[in-house]
Amino acid sequence: MTRLLPGNRPQNGDCPPAARRTPFALVALLLLASQAPGQVSRERLLGAASEPQNWLTYHGTYASQHHTGLDQITAANVSQLDLKWVWQAQSLDKFQSTPLVVDGVMYVSEPPSTVVAIDAATGRTFWMYEHKMPTGITPCCGKVNRGLAISGKTLYMATLDARLLALDAATGRKKWDVAVAEYQNGYSLTLAPLVVKDKVIIGTAGGELGIQGFLAAFDANTGKSLWRFHTIPQPGEPGHETWKNDAWKTGGASIWLTGSYDPDLNLTYWGVGNPGPDWDASVRPGDNLYSSSVVALDAETGKRKWHFQFTPNDAWDWDSVQTPVLANMEWKGRPRKLMLWGNRNAFFYVLDRATGEFLLGKPFVKQTWAKGLDDRGRPVKIPGMEPSPKGTVVYPGVQGGTNWYAPSFSPRTNLFYLTAWEDYVGTYYTWQTDYVPGKWYAGGGVKAVVPPTKRDQIQRWGRDAGYAAILAIDPRTGARVWQHPMTGMSESGLLTTSSDLLFSGNREGHFFALDARSGKLLWRRYLGGQVMNSPISYMLGPRQYVTVASGHSLFTFTLRD
Amino acid sequence: MFPVLALLAAPVLMAQHGNTTQSNPHDSEQDRAAGAKLFATQCTGCHGKNGSGGSAAELTTGVFRYGYSDAGLFNSIASGIPGTAMPAFKLDARHTWQLVAYVRSLGEGRAAGKAKGNPARGAKVYASSGCQSCHSIGGQGGFAGPDLNAIGSTRSLGHLQRSLLAPNEEVSWDYWSLLGRTAAGERIAGLRLNEDTYSFQILDSQGKLRSVAKPDLAEHQIDRTSPMPSVEGKLKPDQFEDLVAYLASLRGAQQ
Residue A352 φ/ψ, nearest 5 degrees: -80, 120
Mean pLDDT, rounded, of chain B: 80
Task: Spell out a b/e string for A498-537, using b for 16 or more CB atoms within 10 Å of the CB, else e.
Answer: bbbbbbbbbbbbbbbbbbbbebeebbbbebebbbbbbbbb
B109 touches chain A (CB under 8 A): no
Q: Work out how many domains chain A is built from and give that number.
A: 1
A487 contacts B41? CB cut-off 8 A: no
Domain B2-107, CATH class in plain words: mainly alpha
Q: Please name which of A96, A88, A126 lies closest in space to residue A113, comparing C-alpha atoms.
A: A96
* Cα distances (Å, whole numbers) of residue B133 to A558, B137, B140, B228: 54, 11, 9, 11
Residue A479 lies in a domain: yes
* pLDDT number for residue B112: 52
Q: Does A411 touch chain B (CB under 8 A)?
A: no
- The contacts of residue B233 (CB under 8 Å, 6+ apart) are none
Strand partners, A117: A107, A127
Burial of B58 (0-12, 13-18, 19+ CB in 10 A): middle
Flag whether residue B54 sits within 8 Å of chain A, measured between CB atoms.
Answer: yes
Domain that holds residue A442: 34-60+94-326+385-559
- Global pTM value: 0.83
Which residues of A fall within a CB distance of 8 Å from B85? 94, 141-142, 453-454
The pLDDT assigned to B12 comes to: 33
Which of A440, A463, A504 is the best mutation test for B, with the most CBs of B within 10 A?
A440
CB A533 within 8 Å of CB A494: no
| CA–CA dist A129, A117 (Å, integer) | 9
Does the distance separating the beta carbons of B48 and A429 come in below 8 Å?
yes
What pairs with residue A523 in β-bridges?
A513
Contact A233, A293 (CB under 8 A): no
Per-residue pLDDT of chain B (255 residues; tens, 9 = 90+): 333 333 333 333 333 333 345 678 888 888 888 888 888 877 877 777 778 766 667 787 666 666 667 788 888 888 877 666 677 777 788 888 989 888 888 766 554 557 889 999 999 999 999 999 889 998 888 877 888 988 887 777 788 888 899 988 878 888 899 999 999 999 999 999 999 999 999 998 788 999 999 999 999 999 999 888 899 889 999 999 999 999 988 877 643
| Domain locations along chain B | 2-107, 119-169+229-249, 177-223
End-to-end CA separation in angstroms for chain B: 38
Which residue in B49, B82, B173 is closest to A431 by CB distance? B49
Q: Among partner residues A138, A452, A486, which is closest to B197 by beta-carbon distance? A: A486
Give chain A's length.
561
pLDDT value for A378 = 98
Which chain A residues are closer than 8 Å to B46 by Cβ?
Answer: 440, 445
Instruction: Say if B143 is an interface residue toward chain A (CB within 8 Å).
Output: no
Indicate which CATH number applies to the domain containing A151: 2.140.10.10
User: DSSP string covering A64-126, please?
Assistant: ---EES--SS-TTTGGGEEEEEEEE-S--S------EEETTEEEEEETTTEEEEEETTT--EE
B85 closest CB neighbour out of A141, A485, A510: A141
Q: Which residues partner with A307 through β-bridges? A: A295
A161 within a domain of the structure (yes/no): yes
For residue A463, what is the DSSP state? G
Determine the residue among A110, A160, A447 to mutate to test chain B binding: the one whose Cβ has the most chain B Cβ atoms within 10 Å: A447
Please count the residues of chain B. 255
User: Predicted ipTM?
Assistant: 0.86
Query: Which residues does chain A have within 8 Å of residue B90's beta carbon, measured at their own beta carbons?
Result: 135-136
Q: Hey, which bits of A265-303 come out as E strands?
A: 267-271, 293-298
Which residue among A119, A317, A319, A500 is the active-site one? A317
Report the CATH architecture of B119-169+229-249.
Orthogonal Bundle (1.10)
Q: Is A317 a catalytic residue?
A: yes
Question: Degrees (nearest 5) of the Cα angle A101, A97, A201?
Answer: 80
Fold adopted by B177-223: SH3 type barrels. (2.30.30)
Q: A-chain residues within 8 Å CB-CB of B53?
A: 447
Least CB–CB distance from B196: residue in A143, A208, A459? A459
φ, ψ for residue B254 (rounded to 5)?
Answer: -85, 145
In a domain, A26, yes or no: no
Given B53, B195, B224, which is nearest A487 (Cβ)?
A: B195
- Cα separation, B97 vs B25, in Å, equals 7
Q: Please check whether residue A255 lies inside any domain of the structure.
A: yes
Whether residue A67 is contained in a domain is answered as no
**Could you give the CA distance from residue A205 to residue A185 in angstroms, rounded to a whole number?**
11
Closest CA to A252 of A302, A210, A195: A210
Average pLDDT for consecutive 10-residue bins of chain A (561 residues)? 36 36 48 62 97 98 98 98 97 95 98 96 98 91 94 98 98 98 96 98 96 98 98 97 96 98 98 97 97 98 98 97 97 96 98 98 98 98 96 96 98 98 94 89 89 81 94 98 97 98 97 98 97 97 97 97 87
Question: Can you tell me whether residue A50 is helix, strand or coil?
Answer: helix
Please tell me what DSSP assigns to residue A225.
E
User: Rounded CA gap, A362 and A342, in Å?
Assistant: 10
Cα→Cα distances A294→A168, A205, A339, B118, Å: 33, 16, 10, 64
Domains B119-169+229-249 and B177-223 share a fold: no
Alpha-carbon distance A111 to B214, whole Å? 36
The pLDDT score that the predictor gives to residue A478 is 98
* Per-residue pLDDT, B64: 67
Q: Distance (Å) from the C-alpha of residue B55 to the closest C-alpha of chain A?
A: 6
